Amino acid sequence: MERDYRAFTWSDNWHVEGDKAWLVSGMHNILLCLDLKMKECESAVSIPEESSSKFRLTSYCIKCGDNIFCLPDTGKAIWIYNIRENGFSKIILDNPQNVRLAVYDFWMHDHKLFVVSNGLGQIIEIDIINKKVKDTYTLCEGGIRKSIKVGTDIYSLSNAGNEVCQFDLIKKTVTSYILPNIGRKFFTFCYDNEKFWLSGYGKELYVWKKGETTIKTINGFPKEFGVYNFSKETNGETDCVKDEYELPAFLYSVSVGEHVWFIPFQTNKIVYVDKKSYELNVFETEGETETKQSLLGRTVLASKYLLEYIHENRYIGLFSIKNNYILEIDTWEKKTEIKKYTFSNSCMHEIQKMFSGNIFCEGDGLYHEVYRTVLFGQEGEDRHKEISDVGLKIYEEMLKI
């Protein structure tokens, strides 16, 4: 009988290849292999970086042949898992100021891996065969906010939000462009093969062509578009009056098909814009309206979604932080599919061995599943045998109260 899992684990990206997806649990630094056909994780291995906190140590990954490169956010190194040998090696990155490396964007090009460290403001070229840093290239002073690859160029938006740096992957040269000053701060950044699209801290979107001295502003947000209060003083309602926010309106913008999609940070609506007509539409999603209870339950991530993957230039895979499952958008049909992935018994057994002690975080999906395993055991076990587990004893005592 299929196990009734109530939650999955969040990560910062998925590497999808055929019927498999590789991801790193953002809370636990565990590398998982997900069987997309069976809809369950089939294997788990703990990434061996030592730290007082495992939160977002190496929460991004990319598969290169038989190796999975796990890339650091708060961690200090690139960890490389070899599938055949079932073991890790690592590349220590030079970080003299001990900044948060924040490697969020990365691509394979010419049999080398190019990763962008937002904290260092650098592109790092990795020799994937010899597993070492080949070279580094400094881009924007003061750090980077977001990078995208366009053909043989990487474009990076500066952390200040007023400069775009172009890195030529062939010539290894950097060209800088100053964005027109329109009195706005920019945060998200994507490209539609002709124009750059940006968003900022309010109910506006922006379009810019490289080299031009003007930026087009897109308004027309619906009156029901607003922002949630994720603080402990929240009443669960949406502020639809405010036009400017303290935090970015959107966490991601992605060009998929004929539209550019904007994924909320703490705002309440996904929006998409036609690349040619600039018509703005709201994408409605069932089950995603927040309540006071759901907002107060955000003990780890105070946001709406995490972008996990874009597949076939059609499907956008989001992790719903409210519901702890994958919400997949079909951008052609303009509809969603809820995907509830689970863990195989053998995978959950491996994960359970990675947890020490009996303290579990209520706001994390993987903790939920490990705790349920501790309480009730694996499927197929004799439920009538005497179980001495401390978790079950506590549960039984609570039932007597």
The two structure tokens encoding residue 323: 């519901």
* pLDDT score for 211: 87
Alpha-carbon gap, residue 68 to 290, rounded angstroms: 36
pLDDT digit string, tens, across residues 48-85? 999 999 999 999 999 999 999 999 999 999 999 999 99
DSSP secondary structure of 263-329: EESSBS-EEEEETTT--EEEE--TT----HHHHHT-SS--SSEEEEEEETTTEEEEEETTTTEEEEE
The two structure tokens encoding residue 12: 């910062």
Q: How far is CA 55 from CA 11, 300, 308, 369, in A?
A: 10, 10, 17, 18
The four Cα atoms 329, 331, 332, 334 give a dihedral, to 10 degrees, of 60
Alpha-carbon gap, residue 378 to 366, rounded angstroms: 15
The two structure tokens encoding residue 330: 């079909």
Are residues 319 and 326 in contact, defined by beta-carbon separation less than 8 angstroms?
A: yes
Strand partners, 108: 113
Alpha-carbon gap, residue 38 to 42, rounded angstroms: 9
Model confidence at 24: pLDDT above 80? yes
> Which has the higher per-residue pLDDT, 368 or 121?
121
For residue 240, which phi and psi values (nearest 5 degrees)? Answer: -100, 0
Nearest by Cα to 223 from 269, 278, 170, 289: 269
Model confidence at 392: pLDDT above 60? no
Model confidence at 122: pLDDT above 80? yes
Nearest by Cα to 274 from 340, 220, 344, 353: 220
* pLDDT score for 374: 53
Pairing of strands 122-127, 112-117: antiparallel
Band of pLDDT at residue 381, cut at 50, 70 and 90: very low
Q: Which strands, in side-by-side order, build the sheet including 30-35?
A: 14-17, 20-25, 30-35, 40-46, 342-343
For residue 52, which phi and psi values (nearest 5 degrees)? Answer: -70, -25
pLDDT digit string, tens, across residues 310-346? 999 999 999 999 999 999 999 999 999 999 999 998 9
> Which has the higher per-residue pLDDT, 251 or 300?
251
Band of pLDDT at residue 234, cut at 50, 70 and 90: very high
Q: Where do we find the tokens 């038989």? A: 66
Nearest by Cα to 335 from 293, 285, 299: 285
Residue 222: other Cβ atoms inside 10 A: 13
Alpha-carbon gap, residue 342 to 3, rounded angstroms: 8
Model confidence at 1: pLDDT above 50? no
Residue 318: other Cβ atoms inside 10 A: 24
Nearest by Cα to 328 from 58, 36, 29: 36
User: Which percentage of the chain shows pLDDT scores above 90?
Assistant: 82
Pairing of strands 174-178, 163-168: antiparallel
Q: How far is CA 152 from CA 160, 167, 169, 269, 344, in A?
A: 25, 9, 5, 34, 41
Round the average pLDDT of the chain to a whole number and report it: 90
Which residue type sits at 348? Answer: M
Residue 313: other Cβ atoms inside 10 A: 10
Alpha-carbon gap, residue 227 to 221, rounded angstroms: 13
* pLDDT score for 369: 67
Characterise 290 by phi-psi region: left (phi > 0), alpha (psi -120 to 50), beta (else).
beta
pTM value surpassing 0.85 = yes
Q: Where do we find the tokens 């597949």? A: 311
Alpha-carbon gap, residue 387 to 389, rounded angstroms: 6
> Which has the higher per-residue pLDDT, 20 or 3?
20
